[in-house]
């Protein structure tokens, strides 16, 4: 529902406004007790690191293309959108609030029991709603996004010299 139906309805119900959707949790099997925590952290980091990889590859690709053929404003705007969106997704998914990836990292770093994590998970959505409405949180996220954008646009700029 949250991956297809809700975004589809939102596109037609509120054009020009934010589109809300969510991903379906992926079930993983971690049979090796000795490496369970490490493996869970590595699997969890795959999502946020893919966001960084997309931003890096796009900055590199657009930078090389721009060196060969100057890109127009719309192409540069597209690069800005791709990098910014992936910066937002990277930072947001690392928040230690269920159901986000950061909560699995927190769970493993503090040796949280599964039962405790399930209880904590019940309040994740409420915590997220409160967080995104706190101005200091918004400022922190904005600073992080600006920092990541400057890194990736720095890569783009380096390729121009």
The domain segmentation of the chain, as residue ranges, is 36-158
| Nearest Cα to Cα of residue 108 among 42, 47, 48 | 42
Residue 49 to residue 129: CA distance in whole angstroms? 24
Please answer whether residues 47 and 101 qualify as being in contact, where contact means their C-beta atoms are separated by less than 8 angstroms. Answer: yes
CB atoms inside a 10 Å sphere around CB 16? 4
pLDDT of residue 2: 52
Cα angle: 148, vertex 24, 127; to 5 degrees: 65
The per-residue pLDDT for 26 is 75
Arithmetic mean of pLDDT over the chain: 87
Q: Given the structure tokens 């986000």, which residue do they identify?
A: 100
Q: What is the pLDDT of residues 3-24, one digit of tens each?
A: 566 656 666 665 555 555 566 6
pLDDT of residue 13: 65
Q: What is the pLDDT of residues 96-142, one digit of tens each?
A: 999 899 999 999 999 999 999 999 999 998 999 999 899 999 999 99
* Per-residue pLDDT, 30: 85
Burial track 86-100 (b if 16+ CB lie within 10 A, e otherwise): bbbbbbbbbbbbbeb
């Amino acid at each position: 529902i949250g991956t297809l139906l809700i975004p589809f309805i939102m596109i037609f119900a509120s054009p020009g406004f934010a589109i809300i959707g969510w991903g379906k949790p992926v079930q993983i099997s971690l049979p090796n007790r000795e490496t369970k925590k490490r493996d869970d952290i590595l699997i969890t980091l795959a999502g946020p690191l893919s966001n960084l990889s997309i931003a890096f590859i796009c900055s590199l690709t657009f930078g090389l293309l721009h060196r060969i053929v100057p890109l127009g404003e719309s192409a540069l705007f597209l690069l800005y959108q791709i990098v910014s969106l992936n910066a937002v997704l990277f930072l947001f998914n690392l928040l230690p609030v269920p159901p986000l990836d950061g909560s699995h990292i927190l769970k493993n770093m503090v040796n949280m029991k599964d039962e405790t994590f399930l209880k904590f998970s019940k309040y994740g959505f409420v915590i997220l709603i409160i967080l995104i409405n706190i101005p200091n949180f918004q400022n922190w996220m904005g600073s992080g996004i600006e920092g990541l954008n400057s890194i990736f646009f720095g890569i783009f700029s380096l390729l121009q010299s």
